[in-house]
Amino acid sequence: MLPQSSLLLVASLLAALPANADGIYTKKSPVLQLNQKTYGSLIANSNYTSIVEFYAPWCGHCKNLKPAYEKAAQNLNGLAKVAAVNCDDDENKPFCGQMGVQGFPTLKIVTPSKKPGKPRVEDYQGARSAKAIVDAVVDRIPNHVKRATDKDLDKWLGQNEERPKAILFTEKGTTTPLIRALAIDFLGAIDVAQVRNKESASVEKFGVSKFPSLVVVSGDEEPKVYEGELKKQPITDFLKQFASPNPDATGEAASPAAKPKKSKPSKPAKAAPKVPVVPDDEGESAAAEETPEAKPVQVPIVPPVPTLATPESLESACLNSKSTTCVLALLPATSEPDSALPSAATDALSSLAEIAHKHAQRGTHLFPIYGIPEINSASQNLRTSLGLEASDAVVIIAVNARRGWYRRYSQAEDFGLAAIEGWIDAIRLGEGAKEKLPEGFVAEPEAEKPKEEPEHDEL
């Protein structure tokens, strides 16, 4: 029991506190602060995906989450909404109850459904890091971008005749968060499509000579080409000449904290012109970049798979007695040194590049992946000693020289992202049969730094 005087003191201190304790996010925070009403108008009725944190200001885990959550909000600016509800505020208590909040913080991802005002709401159970949050939200950004080909572009252009059409010509097979966000901003006002560089009739029809290019077709006017930076605000400004964006267009993704970066990821990678760096498949992983300053709306570039062109480089990376698991794409011969690889090979490389990129962005460990060009004489030896096809086919193998096994990717008709990713995940889990490497296959150790790697990782 406290003495009477202390009780009085406590009582008067409590009385001095504001009835509704202040939230943990300041006015300047990139996190949008909500109550029940604004949840309805800004989140439930939005065409955007949102993540909403239900918290109490006194909760330690909520305070711990704050920096990561604000960083996620910065990285998702212009792409999705990041919001918070202070459940300690009397006004919000019934709402937090209705939302089934039982502990703090509770994070929910709210994704628009076909029925306006009736979004899908799911608990976010992932890691409480900015990157994990961003990845989960980006995965759920609605995709209203038509992926058009030479076959169906004209038909698409003929639909909703009165509506302007924006066409992004790109080397990418994936639909980036940026273009998805633009399609959401102009949903119902400008139709958006994406056409790959290999759709040569369409590319020619619009006279596109560089990728990416954004072309807008409006009425009978000459198509207009956007030549600015591939960033949300300037593209939005350009598109506004043709139609007004929707009420909840989220605007510029540049937050005050966003600093210009040295490298410009919006330019296509120069490294391997023969090899498209993104796969055909859906499933862009993330817009978040490593640093908090990173501008997430810049189109992420998937770095190409590195190649090992000499037997020595292959041996030192993957085929000595210390080497742990490597994934190797043995590439077929090309008719001339500079001519393009067959499409199976470019598909395989772009799927592998995308998988490596996903893991890099999520910060999860993945074995190194290399392309082995046919000019690497070790490539032919590998094929012969492992009994693989002749050199006109692409073959993907995983090899662990230290443990003396290899596995071959056997779905030779499908080099898409999903199929290869499934195979790689199985290896990561240590699943599936392994073949023994032939005797004498692995180079003898030289004085080399030992590498430690578990047999497999958790997914």
Ligand X SMILES: *[C@@H]1O[C@H](CO)[C@@H](O)[C@H](O)[C@H]1NC(C)=O
The residue type at 395: V
Specify the residue for token string 């003191």. Answer: 9
The span from the CA of 306 to the CA of 326, in Å, is 12
Contact partners, residue 227, CB within 8 Å, separation at least 6: 213
Nearer to ligand X (CB atom), residue 178 or residue 378? 178
CB of 353 vs ligand X, minimal distance in Å: 34
Q: How many helices (H) and strands (E) does the chain have?
A: 13, 15
C-alpha of 341 from chain center: 26
- Site stretch for ligand X (CB under 6 A), options 241-249, 287-295, 315-323, 438-446: 241-249
The residue type at 436: K
- Site stretch for ligand X (CB under 6 A), options 45-53, 119-127, 223-231, 265-273: 45-53
Confirm if 119 and 133 have CB atoms less than 8 A apart.
Answer: no
Nearer to ligand X (CB atom), residue 47 or residue 106? 47
What single-letter DSSP state applies at residue 327?
E
- Site stretch for ligand X (CB under 6 A), options 13-21, 40-48, 153-161, 235-243: 40-48
Residue 452's DSSP bridge partners are none
Packed helices 60-75 and 130-139: angle between N→C axes, nearest 10 degrees: 60
Token pair of 317, please? 């990376």
Q: Which of 45, 143, 149, 313 binds ligand X (CB under 6 A)?
A: 45
Q: Is 38 in the site for ligand X (CB under 6 A)?
A: no
Q: Which of 187, 193, 328, 355 binds ligand X (CB under 6 A)?
A: 187
CB of 358 vs ligand X, minimal distance in Å: 30
Nearer to ligand X (CB atom), residue 187 or residue 341? 187
The span from the CA of 331 to the CA of 337, in Å, is 13
What angle (nearest 5°) sits at the alpha carbon of residue 186, between those of residues 182 and 188?
Answer: 140
Q: Is 143 in the site for ligand X (CB under 6 A)?
A: no
Helices (H), 209-286: 232-239
- Site stretch for ligand X (CB under 6 A), options 41-49, 59-67, 285-293, 328-336: 41-49
- Site stretch for ligand X (CB under 6 A), options 13-21, 245-253, 298-306, 430-438: 245-253
- Phi/psi for 400 (5° steps) reads -125, 100
Q: Give the x/- contact pattern for ligand X in 325-364, rule: CB under 6 A.
A: ----------------------------------------
Token pair of 426, please? 């199985």
CB of 245 vs ligand X, minimal distance in Å: 8
CB of 184 vs ligand X, minimal distance in Å: 8
The span from the CA of 79 to the CA of 296, in Å, is 8
Q: Which of 97, 188, 422, 445 binds ligand X (CB under 6 A)?
A: 188
Q: Which DSSP helix (H) or strand (E) runs through 372? A: strand 369-372
Q: Which of 97, 117, 207, 247 binds ligand X (CB under 6 A)?
A: 247
Ranges within 408-447 binding ligand X (CB under 6 A):
none
Contact partners, residue 33, CB within 8 Å, separation at least 6: 23, 25, 83, 84, 85, 86
Count residues binding ligand X (CB under 6 A): 8
- Site stretch for ligand X (CB under 6 A), options 64-72, 243-251, 355-363, 411-419: 243-251
Nearer to ligand X (CB atom), residue 137 or residue 369? 137
Q: Is 246 in the site for ligand X (CB under 6 A)?
A: yes
User: What is the contact surface with ligand X in residues (CB under 6 A)?
Assistant: 45-47, 187-188, 246-248
